[in-house]
Amino acid sequence: MSKKLIRYEQRSIYTKLLEKAYGDFWTHNSVSYKDDLYGVQHKFDEKARQVFLKTISFQSLMDNDIVGIYTYLAKFVDDQTLQLLYLYIAQNESIHQLSYSYGLQQTFGNEADDILSNAENEPAVLQRMYKEEQVEDDFVSKFNIGEATIKDFVNVVIHAYLLEQIKFPVSFFVTFKLNDTYNGAINGFSQALKEIAQDELNTHVVTNMNVLKQLIRENKVDKEFVEKLVVDRINEIINEEEIWAEFLFDAGEPKGLNKKLYKYLVEYFSDEALRKLGFNKMFNVIKNSEISWFNNYRDINKSVVAQQETDSVGYQSLIINDLNKFDERV
């Protein structure tokens, strides 16, 4: 059976993002963790060690889970470039999860399996992942029986967008700050996370931001419908992250980190998620030196498609499978 050829769309933002992502490709073993075990054992105190392991455990499990989200998003859209981009992002997430597992194995040896097994059975970790998993499972079930709608698609995109715009960068900040404060204790993990953060914030977040804005602009969904879903999900995340912070710091607050700073980060990245979509901020927190440090530390300008460009390039039509048979009105 003949299939449509993939057409090169030079002005598509998805083409630009895909080309940028190809140029930034890396693998799980691109980073050396040879000194991280010494750092964890001799530079970290117990508070820092606990925060580090909890953070990395969540990241590993969540990245493993989100692969499925992007695989099904790719199946739902007809735009061939966006399909390729979503499939590439799914591959990205697999590499991220593998890099966490590889880093833990290189650092802790046989203990790495116990660390991940404990994470899989830790209620606090599972609770922080619950909503994303629930939405994914619901979408996959509906898709497999031909009942997934544009609104279901939008809901999944929003959950992925806010996960990678709020929860992930807060966790990146935590690991970066631990490495910086504790004299380069985990330089290997920190370098891997710079690669991961580049993928997440410069490709994944920007992709989903543009998908949502395009659907609104082309009247595929109402702006008010999207904004309500985003605001409602942010309110849930605020509660989820408050609970997570209690667990994260239950052994005490390590140097450079505390619950107050954590709350600020969640609110700042929440406001950024709203701002990027053109919605009103909820918290109106002021960008402080910690955010400037974070952006500089992760080298935000490395091989990035400027977000200003995403608002001015020509967009191709986003065609959803069997769109006409679904009721689009809210």
Kindly report, residue by residue over 73-117, the tens digit of the pLDDT. Answer: 999 999 999 999 999 999 999 999 999 999 999 999 989 999 999
CA-nearest of 166, 206, 175, 203 to 297 is: 175
Token pair, residue 262, equals 């954590």
pLDDT of residue 54: 97
Token pair, residue 177, equals 């700050």
Cβ proximity of 151 and 135 under 8 Å:
no
Cβ proximity of 175 and 44 under 8 Å:
no
Q: Tell whether the model's pLDDT for residue 189 goes beyond 80.
A: yes
Would you place residue 2 in the very low, low, confident or very high pLDDT band (cuts 50, 70, 90)?
very low
Token pair, residue 319, equals 């065609």
Least confident of 29-33, 143-147, 238-242: 29-33
292 Cβ partners below 8 Å, 6+ apart?
A: none
pLDDT of residue 310: 37
Q: Tell whether the model's pLDDT for residue 7 goes beyond 60.
A: no
CA-nearest of 249, 196, 256, 253 to 62 is: 196
- Distance between CA 69 and CA 136 in Å, rounded? 6
Q: Tell whether the model's pLDDT for residue 10 goes beyond 70.
A: no
SS3 at position 77: strand
Kindly report, residue by residue over 62-79, the tens digit of the pLDDT. Answer: 999 999 999 999 999 999
pLDDT of residue 320: 47
SS3 at position 63: helix
Token pair, residue 288, equals 């402080």
45 Cβ partners below 8 Å, 6+ apart?
A: 254, 255
pLDDT of residue 230: 98
Cβ proximity of 189 and 92 under 8 Å:
no
What is the 8-class DSSP label of residue 320? B
Give the pLDDT mean for 162-182.
Answer: 98
110 Cβ partners below 8 Å, 6+ apart?
A: none
- Distance between CA 250 and CA 123 in Å, rounded? 14
pLDDT of residue 113: 93
pLDDT of residue 268: 98
pLDDT of residue 11: 64
What rounded mean pLDDT belongs to the chain? 89
Domains belonging to the chain, first-starting first, are 32-305 (1.10.620.20)
CB-neighbour burial class of residue 227 (10 A; exposed 0-12, middle 13-18, buried 19+): middle
Would you place residue 325 in the very low, low, confident or very high pLDDT band (cuts 50, 70, 90)?
very low
Would you place residue 30 in the very low, low, confident or very high pLDDT band (cuts 50, 70, 90)?
confident
User: What are the residues facing 320 on neighbouring strands?
Assistant: 77
